[in-house]
Amino acid sequence: MKMGTAQEVVEYIRKQKVEIVDLRFMDFPGLWQHFSVPAHAVTENIFESGIGFDGSSIRGWQAINESDMLVKPDPTTAFADPFMQHKTLVMICNICDPITGEDYTRDPRNIARKAEAYLKSTGIGDVAYFGPEAEFFIFDDVRFDQREHEGYHFLDSIEGRWNMGRREEPNLGYKIRFKEGYFPCPPSDKLQDIRSEMMLTLEAIGVATEAHHHEVATGGQGEIDMRFSPLVEMGDKLLKFKYVVKNVAAKHGKTVTFMPKPLHNDNGSGMHVHMSLWKGDKNMFAGEGYAGLSDTGLFAVGGLLKHAPALLAFTNPTMNSYKRLVPGFEAPINLAYSRRNRSAACRIPMYSTSPEAKRVEFRCPDPSCNGYLAFSAMLMAALDGIQNKIHPGEPLDKDIYDLPPQELAKVPKAPGSLREALQALEKDHDWLLKGDVFTEDVIETWINYKLENEVSALESRPHPYEFVLYFDI
């Protein structure tokens, strides 16, 4: 099902006897929000006039005295919801001010649309393609709470190595060892059918996929790779991806988290993002330089690495993100580039030598990010590198983790915490303001929201392991 106009959507609703139309948009931090209207209420007019809602109740948005906002459905995003009992058509919406009619500057999808427009205005390219590899955990049980006098979390998985000795009457073994979850066949991989259903459901709603597999960690870690798409479209698809993965898991009595580091002492969930810029039918990253890159591709890498500390405030936007970015778990904490070397922040994949396949893989991001903001910030960093001819220096074609200390000390490091990333963003964000893509208000609101609601909230609470270390002092 592919629709492009309001008329086609209205006609589809009538012919397919759709009962409910679900209108969705993303809040500022990065969660999908929605409300539903009866199908008969959807006319061609609402695609222009919009439908009102209370913007003050959405995280990071309007003040209570400026609460009225409009959602305007994008007809090109329509898809049939595969989970609802009543026949439901979903559309992703843009957010507008009801008085001025202007697109709302804090709407993440609007920021992504502006980033695409800015790319075209530079003349560097016509389209930016993104291909994220979002990892996640499928758990069988989750419990957590935090109060004034107690705090804990409990996770469980039938695959978890910690259940090797549990009485399961019978326990049949085949629990995946820590760090050995990459590609084992069933019966060790107990989630093949569920991931296959996730993949097929994604395909059914128009999200093209390339592969799925178990990931490195024990306890249900998996990955489903989506085929690359233009920036805004991929932002939409990442939301569909999370929606499908979570709901297929729920259908089977399981739960999914995109939290970057839910398990101690095993690999976390990253979201390596492949990126390329095209002008007409030419891949602007393909050339005769290092690893088959053009000067444009190399300068894009230079921009990503130069601005990485600030960029991570959007691509790795949670306190938990930085528990993944630690040595020993394949995480790219060193800001370097390389071909084939997965320990570098930027990798130039060498699966194919064809110019069409040439791309840059930024390995720092994780799936907790707001895709619209993360992809937009990546594009802006790459464009700044290209515009200012920022060369990334010499590549690091070695195992970074085996470098001697004196050599490793010369390699720039990723921020060690969300607070550090936000501080870097505060100092270094002029490149994000070009073309009015990100505004000063968006940057300031993002920093303040994260500091108040996440950084300070976590820093002020006792941690269970502090009791292990300090209770008896």
Q: Is 463 a catalytic residue?
A: no
| Element holding 272 (H helix, E strand) | strand 271-279
Phi, psi for residue 274 in degrees, rounded to 5: -90, 140
| Element holding 8 (H helix, E strand) | helix 6-15
Q: Is 48 a catalytic residue?
A: no
Instruction: Tell me how long the chain is.
Output: 473
| Element holding 158 (H helix, E strand) | none
**pLDDT tens digits for range 160-184:** 999 999 999 999 989 999 999 999 9
Q: Render the burial of 101-110: b for 16+ CB within 10 Å, e for the rest.
A: eebbbbbbbb
Nearest-angstrom CA–CA distance, 36 and 18 = 12
Q: Within a 10 A sphere around the Cβ of 148, how many other Cβ atoms?
A: 7
| DSSP labels, 274-333 | EEEEEETTEETTBSSSGGGB-HHHHHHHHHHHHTHHHHHHHHS-STTHHHHSSTTTT---
Catalytic residue among 54, 210, 399, 466: 54
| Element holding 452 (H helix, E strand) | none
Catalytic residue among 107, 116, 159, 215: 215
Let me know: does 424 contact 374? Beta carbons within 8 Å.
no
Query: For the whole model, what pTM was predicted?
Result: 0.95
Q: Within a 10 A sphere around the Cβ of 66, how many other Cβ atoms?
A: 12
Q: Is 54 a catalytic residue?
A: yes
Predicted pLDDT at 65: 47
In 3D, which of 229, 240, 228, 235 has the Cα closest to residue 202?
Answer: 240
Predicted pLDDT at 93: 97
Catalytic residue among 97, 342, 397, 426: 342
Q: Is 223 a catalytic residue?
A: yes
Predicted pLDDT at 401: 65
Let me know: does 337 contact 396? Beta carbons within 8 Å.
yes
Mapped onto helix, strand or coil, the DSSP state of residue 79 is strand
Q: Is 272 a catalytic residue?
A: yes
Alpha helices in 101-260 (DSSP H): 108-122, 192-204, 231-251
Start-to-end CA distance of the chain, whole Å, equals 65
In 3D, which of 352, 356, 334 has the Cα closest to residue 343?
Answer: 334
Nearest-angstrom CA–CA distance, 471 and 473 = 6
Nearest-angstrom CA–CA distance, 188 and 173 = 8
Q: Is 452 a catalytic residue?
A: no
Predicted pLDDT at 360: 96
Predicted pLDDT at 64: 43
Task: Tell me which residues of the chain have a pLDDT lower than 50.
Answer: 64-65
Nearest-angstrom CA–CA distance, 73 and 62 = 20
Q: Is 44 exposed, middle or buried (0-12, 13-18, 19+ CB in 10 A)?
A: middle
Predicted pLDDT at 44: 94
Catalytic residue among 27, 233, 236, 361: 361
| Element holding 379 (H helix, E strand) | helix 371-387
Q: Within a 10 A sphere around the Cβ of 298, how many other Cβ atoms?
A: 25
The three-state (H, E, C) secondary structure of 216-252, written as one string: CCCCCEEEEEECCEEHHHHHHHHHHHHHHHHHHHHHC
Q: Within a 10 A sphere around the Cβ of 7, how many other Cβ atoms?
A: 12
Q: Is 213 a catalytic residue?
A: no
**CA quadruple 117, 110, 372, 444: dihedral positive or negative?**
positive
Q: Is 66 a catalytic residue?
A: no
Let me know: does 311 contact 373? Beta carbons within 8 Å.
no
Catalytic residue among 24, 195, 212, 272: 272
Nearest-angstrom CA–CA distance, 228 and 226 = 6
Predicted pLDDT at 370: 96
